[in-house]
Structures are given as structure tokens and as C-alpha cells.
Amino acid sequence: MGANIHLHVHVSSLEKSREFYRRFLGAEPVKDRPDYVKFLPAWAPVNLALSPGHASAEGRVNHVGIQVDSPGAVLEHLVRVKAAGLMVREEMGVDCCHANQDKFWVEDPDGVEWEVYHLNYDLGPAPRATGLTIASEPGCCGR
């Protein structure tokens, strides 16, 4: 078995979050208890555990990303997630985080954003301190 990133997230509604992640990840939980749900989707190296708790804005993750191997894989998962009835925000060919990317975003019931993305190519080095402020595109790297 390969390496997985483990994320344990406190959620305000285990029922709503179970359903969201089942649809987003395209997989059933591998463990489903009254106070704990665990997902190990075949397509993403993530071990996601959910348990009831307070999901405050102060402690919330900015966003979580799953990098896939090709633009085609982004589209494959986009079609699957849309078919599951989730709202998505698409960003194809965007310059974000010093790279050109194809991606889409979903938001879980507690407001945590997930992106599925492919890094198409890195952008050149940014100008050094020149007194100019260079803004990121709106929505880049999360909200």
C-alpha cells in the first residue's frame, strides 16, 4: 500500500459530511460508526477521518488539494462530481500559486474547500521587491 495523507476533521454534522464526502470522493466509507467515519478513496492518496466537533473559522483549514496526473484526470473527476450533484467551481488554464493549472473546487458542509487540480506548468520567477504590489487572481488558492 502506498503512502496516504491523513486528515482528521471535526464536522458540525456527521450525517451531512458523510454524504458530501461519499459523493465528492466517489467512494463509500471504509469505517462508519455513530461518532466516526473514515474514507480511503482509491483515486486519491488520502485517509480522511470525520468526527463530530466544533468546526470554527479560526481553526479551519484554508483548503485541501488533490493533485492528479493529467488534465484528463481533472475532467474525469469533474464529470463524476457533477453527476453526483455537487456544486463545483471550475478554473481551467488559470495562473495561480505561481503555476498554470486546471482545477475545480467543491465546498464541504462546514465550508472547507477542496480542489482537484493538475499543474500544467510553473510560471517564471516573480519580480523581487520593487515597491510594486502584484495581486493574485481573485479566487486563487482558495476563497
The candidate with the shortest Cα–Cα distance to 106, out of 66, 51, 135, 59, is 66
Please give the CATH topology (third level) of the domain spanning 5-52+63-122.
Answer: 2,3-Dihydroxybiphenyl 1,2-Dioxygenase; domain 1 (3.10.180)
Residues in the chain: 143
> Residue 46's pLDDT is what?
92
pLDDT for 17: 95
Residues 116-125, buried b or exposed e (16+ Cβ, 10 A)? Answer: bbbebeeeee
- Quote the pLDDT of residue 139: 52
Q: What is the mean pLDDT of each run of 10 residues along the chain (143 residues)?
A: 77 94 97 93 92 70 87 96 97 88 94 92 67 46 58
Count other Cβ atoms within 10 Å, centred on residue 131. Answer: 4
Is this prediction's pTM over 0.85?
Answer: no
Q: Tell me, what's the pLDDT at 132? A: 43
What ranges do the domains of the chain cover? 5-52+63-122
